[in-house]
Copies of this chain bind each other. A is one copy, B any other.
Amino acid sequence: MSNVLYLAVVDDIKKKIISGELSPNDMLNSESELMKEYNVSRMTLRKSLSLLSNQGYIYSIQGKGNFVRKPNTDLYQFRFNEYDSLFPEVDEIKLLSVTIDTASGQVKTDLQLNHDDQVVRIEKLMLSTNEPIAFEILHTQYFANKPVVEDQINFSNYSRTLETKLAFAIKKELEIRIVKAGQYSNRLDLTPDDDVFQISKKTINKDTRKPLTTSIILIKKEFFVITAGTPEEDEVKKIF
């Protein structure tokens, strides 16, 4: 049992939930009652409830009470980026081409562009000991008057730079499928009929909700495994 008061309270309530003494949608005793039960102050008790809420055990409704939450065990987490998540690791990134096109098709849709808008198209190849293991096509809107893009376009890790700079401001989305390598199979020394992982990745401005980049990553199937898990309780951030 923890010698920190609010953690002791957390442990006790958690035990009641796990043991079934409290069931989903049951109301906890009111905060004033719990204060007496555990002999702690309001703020201390509320810190405990806050932790339990963060860890998904309870939720609260103002004016009504605190309730046991139905556990959500279907939520998984994993880490991914196209450079470090492959196995064996990427040791070389080849910039195949950088071109400026007029937006069209899926890319125009994804980036929410107008007819005459231009896009930068970047093709990259990821290699491990000289073997190509992944191929990426990234699109992002081209602004002729913003020199930043042209300055940085020479760096092969352009997209990485972009993301790092904006990291706090962007949200990313992935869609992972199995598809035929198709027209890009030659980049990976495959035949068009070979199956590969296809990861569609979009980055989006968190505030404006505007799409920033859209890319397709093809990964040879032997070089990628997704390892995911339900979040650990310590991964749920600690409370001050």
Q: Using a CB–CB distance below 8 Å, which chain A residues touch chain B?
A: 14, 17-18, 43, 46-47, 49-50, 53-54, 56-57, 60, 70-71, 73-81, 84-85, 163, 167-178, 195, 197, 206, 221, 224-230, 232-233, 236-240
Contact = CB atoms under 8 A, between A and B. Distances in A.
A82 to B, nearest CB: 10
Main secondary structure of the interface of A (DSSP, over half): mixed
Contacts of A50: 239-240
Contacts of A224: 177
A53 B50 CA distance: 14
Contact of A229 (B54, B167, B169, B172): B172
A57 B168 contact: yes
Contacts of A172: 73, 76, 229-230
Given A168-B17, A171-B232, A177 B225 contact: yes
Contacts of A49: 240
**Identical chains in the assembly:** 2
A113 to B, nearest CB: 22
A110 to B, nearest CB: 15
A192 to B, nearest CB: 14
A76 B78 contact: yes
Q: Which of A14, A17, A46, A172 has the most CB of B within 10 A?
A: A172
A23 B85 CA distance: 26
A66 to B, nearest CB: 10
Contacts of A240: 46-47, 49-50, 53, 60
Given A53-B238, A76-B77, A225 B168 contact: no
Contacts of A197: 178
A75 B71 contact: no
A228 B47 contact: no
A228 B54 contact: no
Given A73-B170, A168-B17, A195-B195, A175 B225 contact: yes
Contact of A228 (B14, B57, B74, B174): B174
Nearest to A233: B206
A43 B227 CA distance: 39
* A-B pairs with lowest CB-CB distance, top 6: A71-B167, A50-B240, A178-B221, A176-B226, A54-B237, A195-B195
